[in-house]
Amino acid sequence: MNCTQNEKLNQVTPHTLIVGVDIAKFKHVARAQDDRGKILGKALTFTNTKEGFDAFFAWLEEMQHKHEKADVLVGM
């Protein structure tokens, strides 16, 4: 997607869950925050396997439901 910085910032609303993932060789760490930068819940550490990705996806859905967020932005 070819967007300007302002267009990217306009994608973030109060209904957006923002997830950052620190990618490593074997274990990754994900953390969620709201549109104001408030950390939501505990960080998730998951492995570089199918089971790890499934755990990440389940955590992502749980965080989205728990904090009532309609949209998700993931940055790696």
> Each residue of 36-61: pLDDT tens digit?
999 999 999 999 999 999 999 999 99
Amino acid identity of residue 42, one-letter, is K
What is the predicted pLDDT for the residue at 75? 87
pLDDT at 24 over 80: yes
Amino acid identity of residue 19, one-letter, is V
Mode of pairing for the β-strands spanning 39-47 and 16-22: unpaired
More confident residue, 69 or 8: 69
pTM attached to this predicted model: 0.84
Residue indicated by tokens 């973030």: 12
DSSP class per residue in 13-24: -TTEEEEEEE--
Fold of 17-75: Nucleotidyltransferase; domain 5 (3.30.420)
